[in-house]
Amino acid sequence: MKRIFIINPVAGPRNPAEMLRPKIASAAETYRESVEILETTHKGHAREITEQYAASGEPVAVYACGGDGTFNEVVQAAVGKPWVMAGCVPCGSGNDFVRNFGGRDAFLDIKSQLDAQPCPVDTIRTEYGYSVAICAAGLDAKVAYGIPKFKRLPGCGGSMAYKLSIVEVFFGPLTSRLRIVLDGREQVGEYLMMAICNGRVYGGGYSAAPYAMMDDGLLDVVLVRPIPRLKIPGFLTRYREGLHLNRDGEIAPEFQPYMSFCRVRRVELESLGRHLLIVTLDGECAPRKVLHAEVCPKNLTILLPKGLAPDKMAVKKP
């Protein structure tokens, strides 16, 4: 089977190729595997490369070496093609996908990656592409959308850009009037944010759906109604830790005035206000008027390092 490592040279603080090329070569020699190492040159290049190899119809393992954006590009070309297996070597700033399986360490071990096991998982299909982990809209998506603007300022790194984006969003309009349809059940109201979850983690470590599974054929949907501004920081702190839900899907008492939760197969979302809604698919943000999201059962094959697959996909917080 062909094994292709696609490295995004601008992912993270330094070119990951400097670290990965010798590790990949060494692991390949040990395992007597034939591998190819390619570097992307422009946005969308990882998808183009994956599509080229997928077109042959022959089994191929494609490892996205970069951030969540690089992995997302590979995913777009791999969905619906069981002969194309998508692996992730996390070298970006967020690396939320691997957080769903405990973190980066196992995924950065190239020998473990060459011994990885293929696992079919669900995806979220939208009119804008596929998401493996979470499609979110509202407050948190606004913050993510604003970060690149601040990163362009002199001396403004990732952490500072994130903080400045939070300040900008916090002092602007926080809620949106939305029409939401959940498996055919319609509701209209003001919402602070929402998360449509196939995985558990997004946004740099926020555990929106602490008990979501990537292979159960369902989407965990979290809806947050307006919250007094002074209560938002405390709310987000506990939301980040996944303390808003218990194992049975019941909302913790302190969150009940502001939050609802359900498991569905299809979600329709429409902004009824003057402004477009900021939507993020696995970290890729854009303003949208409408969003249609539905679960696609096991239409993507991912590669998980040995010891993580397949039982770890369904691991829940205690």
pLDDT digits (tens, 9 = 90+) for 53-66: 999 999 999 999 99
Name the segment(s) of the chain with CATH classification 3.40.50.10330: 2-115
Q: Measured between alpha carbons, how far is 13 from 66 in angstroms, rounded to an integer?
A: 11
Query: Distance of CA 235 to CAs 73, 79, 100, 203, 224, Å?
Result: 33, 35, 22, 15, 11
Please determine, looking at this structure, whether the domain spanning 134-297 carries the CATH number 1.10.3720.10.
Answer: no
Q: What are the tokens at 222?
A: 């979290």
Quote the distance between the C-alpha of residue 172 and its chain's center: 26
Q: By the 8 A CB rule, do 92 and 14 touch? A: no
**CA distance linking residue 82 with residue 198, whole number of Å:** 19
pLDDT tens digit sequence for 21-68: 999 999 888 877 789 999 999 999 999 999 999 999 999 999 999 999
Residues of the chain with CATH 2.60.200.40: 134-297
Show the beta-strand stretches assigned E in the chain: 2-7, 35-39, 60-66, 84-90, 117-126, 129-131, 134-138, 176-182, 185-191, 193-197, 201-202, 206-207, 219-224, 259-264, 266-271, 277-281, 284-288, 290-304
Q: Angle at the Cα of 123 (from 149 to 5), degrees rounded to 5?
A: 70
pLDDT score, position 212: 94
Specify the amino acid at residue 114: L
| 3-state class (DSSP) for residue 93 | coil
Average pLDDT of the residues in 140-144: 86
Q: What is the pLDDT of residues 246-289, one digit of tens each?
A: 988 899 999 999 999 999 999 999 999 888 999 999 888 999 99
Mean of the per-residue pLDDT values for the chain? 90
What does the pLDDT average to over 90-101? 88
The CATH code of domain 2-115 reads 3.40.50.10330
280-306 residue pLDDT tens: 998 889 999 999 999 999 999 999 998
